[in-house]
A = this chain, B = another copy of it.
Amino acid sequence: MQAHTFFLYLLIILLTARLFAELAVRLKSPSVIGELFAGIVIGPSILGWIEPVEALKLMAEIGIILLLFEVGLSTDIKRLIRSGTKSTVVAIIGFIAPLFFGFSIAYWLFELSLLISLFIGGTLTATSIGITVRVLSDLKLANSHQGQIVLGAAVLDDVLGVMLLALLYEFSVGGGVNWINALKVLVFVSSFFVFAPILAKLMSVVIKRFHADSEIPGLIPTTIVSLVLFFAWLAHAVGAPELLGGFAAGLALSRRFFLPLGVTLRKDENFAKAIEEQMQPIISLFTPIFFVVVGLSINLREIDWASSHVWIFSSVLLVAAIAGKLIGSLFINENLASRIMIGMSMVPRGEVGLIFAELGRFSGIFDNETHAGMVIVIVLTTIIPPFTMKWFYRHYSHLLVESK
């Protein structure tokens, strides 16, 4: 690909993302909807200007891990741990319910095969951390009590979703499932979440030390981005999604992170501030690319809109997908408004769902019609909640007080 063509692609992506985001905000919707819509408009669905070429996809991946880094950076780990039990409940029920609903509908109602039905259930399991967090931030709820529960739950069910994907993939190629392997991945991922922030914190101390010494400008952007990339790579190496590495790195560098076991490192507000200030423009540059590329990778033209089967199939699964996530919040001790808000926040599916659908189509498990139906469901779970959440927040924000 020629550099000047790539420049054109990138600038169209950045500008349309901005334009539609501004429009979305003026129409009282979250800006992320505008960015997704920009991708749908300039992508194969409508105008067909831009193909999601490899370099764009890779920059989009950097965008999502940087967004998760930013989320980690502004997360208060104490509050995250405090909301741990509630997050776990929301995550596990919000994982099992859509899996069970999706599987049951496919297997018993539409009489699809066991493997296809399991893949359909799997596609509905994982909440999109990226979209959920963006919507919560747009509503200034990311640091709220409910936001912390949702964040913890979204992180957890992403891990569960990826593990299920690994299991189903093994099952689909080999016919059997290696539970010891699955357990090993779980142990790795859990220890990653314990040790990665500590390691990242120690590395940031080294960077701070150099920061005081170096005569060449630009230390923070290159080393902090490297740190984030390293943890994304490490997350993948232990079997977790890359974006969780970005989250772990952000958590470690947040002002509110402290090393366990009483190890104290001299806090340096200036350094923390320099990181936030210098990373902000980089994050703002890369993040929209991710959401536009998600829009680009959806081709609404591939869907046979005249087929009533597609409509029924996706409508039923959409209800299952939404109900499956709303149920989780019923099992925690919160007032009704908080439960509804938490449940709605968990509805958007994204990255992991699309990976499920892609793998399903690629390995021949999904035919075109099933794949299209699943993509419609994922898109709608992503488009609907920002509107309902925004509406709900406008009317009931006074009820979202913290209950302990």
Contacts and interface: CB of A to CB of B under 8 A. Distances in A.
Interface of A: 1, 3-4, 6-8, 10-11, 14-15, 17-18, 21-22, 25, 31, 54-55, 57-59, 61-62, 65, 210, 214-223, 225-226, 229-230, 232-233, 236-237, 242, 277-285, 287-288
Contacts of A31: 216
Given A4-B242, A14-B226, A277-B277, 18 more contacts: A1-B54, A4-B236, A7-B65, A7-B233, A7-B242, A8-B229, A8-B233, A10-B225, A11-B229, A14-B225, A22-B210, A22-B214, A25-B215, A54-B54, A55-B55, A59-B59, A222-B284, A281-B282
Q: Please give the count of copies of this chain that the complex contains.
A: 2
Contacts of A1: 54, 58
Contact of A217 (B58, B223, B284): B284
Nearest to A64: B3
Contact of A230 (B11, B18, B25): B11
Contacts of A236: 3-4
25 contacts: A1-B54, A4-B242, A7-B61, A7-B233, A7-B242, A8-B233, A10-B225, A11-B230, A14-B223, A14-B225, A14-B226, A14-B229, A15-B223, A15-B226, A18-B219, A18-B222, A31-B216, A59-B59, A218-B284, A218-B285, A221-B282, A225-B285, A278-B281, A281-B281, A281-B282
A304 to B, nearest CB: 32
Q: Which of A58, A229, A282 has the largest number of chain B CB atoms within 10 A?
A: A58
Contacts of A54: 1, 54-55
Nearest to A7: B229
A281 B275 CA distance: 10
Contacts of A225: 10-11, 14, 285
Contacts of A282: 221, 281-282, 285
Contact of A3 (B25, B214, B218, B242): B242
A340 to B, nearest CB: 26
A287 B222 CA distance: 10
Contacts of A281: 218, 220-221, 278-279, 281-282
Q: Which of A1, A14, A22, A57 has the largest number of chain B CB atoms within 10 A?
A: A14
Nearest to A6: B58
A57 B10 CA distance: 15
B229 A10 contact: yes
A273 to B, nearest CB: 13
A69 to B, nearest CB: 12
Contacts of A278: 280-281
A236 B3 CA distance: 10
A239 to B, nearest CB: 11
A6 B25 CA distance: 34
Contacts of A287: 218
A61 B279 CA distance: 21
Nearest to A279: B281
Nearest to A10: B229
B233 A11 contact: yes
A350 to B, nearest CB: 15
Nearest to A35: B216
Nearest to A2: B236
A210 B25 CA distance: 14
Nearest to A289: B222
